[in-house]
Chains A and B, each alone.
Chain A
Amino acid sequence: MPSTLAARFKSLRQIPAKPREVPLSWSRIALIAGLVLAVTLPFVVKNFVIFQLTMVLIYAIAILGLNMLTGFNGQFSLGHSAFYAIGAYTTAILMEIYGFDFYLTIPVAALICFAFGFLFGLPALRLEAIYLALATFALAAATPQILKSTPLSPWTGGVQGIYVLKPDPPFGLPVNSDQWLYFLTLGIGLVLAVIARNLIDSRSGRAIIAIRDNPIAARAMGVDIALYKTLVFGVSALYAGIAGSLSAVVVQFVAPDSFTFVLAIALFVGLVIGGVGSIPGAVIGGLFLVFVPNFAEEISKGLAGAVYGAILILVIYAMPSGAAGLVRMLVAKLAGRSR
């Protein structure tokens, strides 16, 4: 029945990856403004704010990875804290026990996490939607215990965790180590965002999105679903691992209690807040994760958790498709009016 297939294919192509495209000029202006702001900020704020901003970027990288998996490929994960932890511990162990240079540990952490993600993606193939969410959640819940376990403790330091030394800025750059780590994270984040965008816009990206939208049609079009799903899982874990690796040196300490399921949930919250299926939305998600709990605490110390929950509900209510969806809608309205 070639005609039906063609019709299906056609309808598939008519579903755009992003519901309403922001006009190019607008998005470019916003991007440049954002970049100028990102580059300027570390010179005008205190070091600890730079630290917070670096954490924002780190979370954004992890959320970006989660977004590729959930937003574009339609696979749920509540277990990305595990890959984040593997990345962090890889860097910490390589630096503190084997004396590696920090910069070398990033690609190693990325590769190890890719491998773990790919392998975890294999059994995940058999699990759909909420069952996959549950399986990955089990991974998140198991991670702290595994890190604490006695057989691993010669490397992980067990419950004590591992101190990590912050690298100094190289080449005698006139910045302090907080600023340097910020720019390093920013640079890595930008590269990863560009890679993510190019991947999504490519032929493989269309296959990844097709699997999300209509797996049967995708298979009919000759997409190797198993391969793509596991690869996306691997790439997603790789992003989370790089984020974890950077967090190890920025926080200067890794311990099992830093990577509980609370982190996995936080990344998922960041994904939804930023906008499922939006690459710049990841930064909004990161900002939310770092600053909203502090804001909630300022409102009420005793009820910080409840205030955070209330803010979360309000935000979801106000922008059901995340920050990216809200921006897209506003820009589309403005553009429509000015015409």
Chain B
Amino acid sequence: MNSHRRRFLKQASLGSASLGLSPLMLALRAQAAEDQIQLPKRFVFVVKSSGIDKFNLVPEQLENHYVDTKDGKKLGNRARRLGPKVNASLADLTLPEKLQPLADWTDRLTIIQSLSGEGFRGDHTCGFGALSCHDSERIAVAPTIDCLLGQHLSKGPYAMYGMAMNGRLLETGWKPEQSYCYPNLSAHAAGKPVAYQASPRKAFLELFGAAVATPKQLETKLALNGNLLDFLTEDAKRIKTQLSSREKERFERYTDSFNSLRDIEAKKARLIDQIQEHAPTMTDRYDALAPSARIESHFEIASAALIAGLTNVITLRPDTLGVKYSDLGLSNSVHAIGHLDTNTASNGWTGHQARQQIEQLHLTQIGQLASKLDAVPEGNGTMLDNTLIVYMSCAGGDHHGGQADWPFILLGGLGNKLNMGRYLEYPKYQETGHRTIANLYLAFMHAAGMATPETFGQFDPSLKHLDLTGPLEELLA
């Protein structure tokens, strides 16, 4: 991990020697020179549906560019008022009501507003585009940031692990899924979408099954798996010789998976002690149907998986548009609530209030996850200092078309590589100084120690007058 990063930075420095180094590059080189103990870094992406409202994310001491100055009402998409870049310390500001569940971590919280992600079309969602910065709602055409980070950071059996409420998006009614599903969010590469586990019970058994098995059972299981994969590899060889080169290429996607499976099992076996130590207790809640119970179980498993070292990147999909938060007294689906605005939902809340309550439900779970990570010492701090929780939506800043102003709430840290405790608001779409979600993802890559390219994902032609290369400088420490 570090050698990659240092190599990149060394090359970058050499390449720019005669050009004079930008302050950013000087800072990066200084970091590369540091001989500090490298601690593992982790990410948790929590990607809700239906957008995250942006007008109620602005601390009261700051001018709110997302509401009408006359009546204080929320402005429509692309209608935010003009304003300069804002980079303020949250220490001097009052945290918006919506973010109160995270009030204990103001110094490790950063709110980012008005990054754009235009051009990734979709029906109420950008699908894979939200994390890959490509126009690819339903078909993965490029790797997503969570998978890239996972491939780089994870030393455990899973490069990245996903858990979702279900894989559906627009169906009315809510049905818990029994097993894996495809929420169309994460992909290891083009055409390699990641299946998410929807059942908390099955996620537990998959990740922590070793905690409830004897050593003999584990040994036998591993040996049988070895037999199985050897047999399948031999069987596939026979077919492979009969295929054309193009068909072989496709067939290798199948045969390569045997090695990956073998690798996962070997890594799990090495982690047996941690798995047994940190496995959560499986309760009836793991079979509950209420959305909040399922979300709670997913978060619980996520924290245990991170602590046990099963993966360094987890993506959670707490809801989809068909979900009904019945335990909040809402019989309207998330989709229906997205259309309510100031009209009232079944329990008397306005659409705005209902959305805030749903977001707070997620933020409360994020707070609990942070608490658990903060209780585990790591280096001079805690696991939370080396874990970044990213709360965002696949639909940007609104139920429809909110991609010109895409809010992100970051909690935790990446070993002091990020400026936390900030409110960052970028200038309006197309205005000087405006930045995109790709710049944020580049900052994640950089802070994670990855070789960071100049750009990430698809170019937005409407922003060709702006320099959109490199990570978000304001976020980097």
* A and B assemble together: no
